[in-house]
Chains A and B, each alone.
Chain A
Amino acid sequence: MTGLIRRQALAALAASALLSAPAMAQETVKVGLLLTYSGPSGLAGQHADDTIKVFQQRYGSTAGDKKIEFVKRDTTGPNPEVAKRLVQELIVREKVQLMIGPDFTPNVLASAPLITEGKVPTIIAGAATTGIIGEKSPYLMRTFFAIPQLVAPLAQYAYKTGARKLFVLVADYAPGHDAENLITKSFQAQGGTIAGNLRIPMRSPEFSSHMQRIKDAAPDAVFVFLPQGELTVQFLKAYSDSGLKASNLKLLGTGDITDEMLLDVAGDTALGVITAGFYSTYHDSALNKQLVAELAAFKHAPNVPIWDALRLIYDGVAAQKGAPFNGDKFMAFAKGRKFESPRGPIAISASNGDILQNTYIRRVERRDGKLVNVEFETIADPAMR
């Protein structure tokens, strides 16, 4: 008897649940995620995944009344043919409504027309060239950094601290050429001279000739712009081995040469190097300290551009609570938005969707037995006020 009553009760409960369920099921907002997971640059993608995991542990996978679902694809590096096809897949077949990535400038450039045609708000978290946000598509935003944001303040810092003859060393590829132009113009505008400049090949196993060129020019400071990876590690090593480091020649670079991912590999060769960066794990804010502690379980630094992209997405989607998701409304929300990032205060420019942020001048020091970038000067972005 009890069994029958129980079954009837359960059936009644189930029926009432079905009848009283809301007419509309919870909407899912699909977010495409286009990063590099394999090959020489594969580490960045894996670190990004861990950061996303931590974010979702803290904030869940629901924003407002909508569920956030990620659709991942691997661009395999700077591979515009593959990236464009994957963007097409994500927009046309997977019907994503938002996108993070692709990384690398050529991938972004190849995908921009599709993004515009598909009207998918896209956040770039891994490409730093100018001329890709804003001009290429009204649906692009950036949480990464733009090269001028780091290079121009570095020129000012160099001049301010007494450097008058700068040696410029960049990798021989498009972003390197951009950085070279920028630093030359900025430094000369301050009144300094360029003692010499060198474009080194992307495949450059042997650095002694480059170091000798620096010695020949007898500069009082050296500016370096190299893609993160084998080049930055070998450069720091060669700089130390060749005796240039010991000569107290000031070494200045963008944050790429002392990025946390490779700082431990570079070891003591990185001590004392001054860089202009947009994020340091040692940044003194409660938000950052907590994030770094959470990522410590994964044994690497957080991917802050990804974190901020998620923050923007979650806030933007939550703001559309009660109505179906709309991409244009999201763009209107995001553009002009200011919020606190683990790196400091940031904003998305209302005019073109690019990132506005502080630039920090940092020096590599050893704190608590670990090498970190210690910020000692902050240059605020004038457009943020």
Chain B
Amino acid sequence: MTQPPNGPVSAPSPTPRPDAPGSSSTAGRHRVVVVDDHAMFRTGVKAEIGRAVEVVGEAADADAAINVVLESRPDVVLLDVHLPGGGGIEVLRKVHEKNPEQKFLALSVSDAAEDVIGVIRAGARGYVTKSIAGDELIDAIRRVAEGDAVFSPRLAGFVLDAFSGAIDISSVDEDLDRLSQREREVLRLIARGYAYKEVAKELFISIKTVETHVSSVLRKLQLSNRHQLTRWATDRRLV
């Protein structure tokens, strides 16, 4: 929510980001907390990502998650959307009150639009479904830890859906309330199943630029309260 605003969207240079304390010292191995109410799933995820990241804590409900996250200050929190004690959104809110820099990657079996958009608007840096392969998950964690946003094809589709229609540029006054043509293209390619690398190649831009675009979309999604998004959200009982 209180993400430092990114630089101008057009600037292809990577945006430097203040890292969470203690994260830079771990020589490539990111520190991760796994929050999920299914013990079996936590075990599975730990086994899958354990070789590439350091799992420093886990929690099974919202209260425990808030404590663990605030205490251990991991690089990335893998956060289940459906969680006893208020859900993932509650964890996001409470943790960001104390530590606005904490990065979250939402993880869920549900791919209902309400869940996906809701958790992103609450401040998660990305969203993947639980059926994601181990390597892709590690990649997503790394990306989030480095300050980028992780958009699955489905999330990209939802965002396009939310911002779609009425790209009537003349009537839109605020930059936040619409996606630029480029951002739209990037999202569309992601929705088509392209990896960031492939998106970059397709659009003849650098990967870093793709990441910047995606981060910018994320910021718009989180900060925008343009009527279109609000209406879309209301239609789907999001707000």
Same complex for A and B? Answer no
Q: Could you tell me which B residues sit within 8 Å of A by CB distance?
A: none
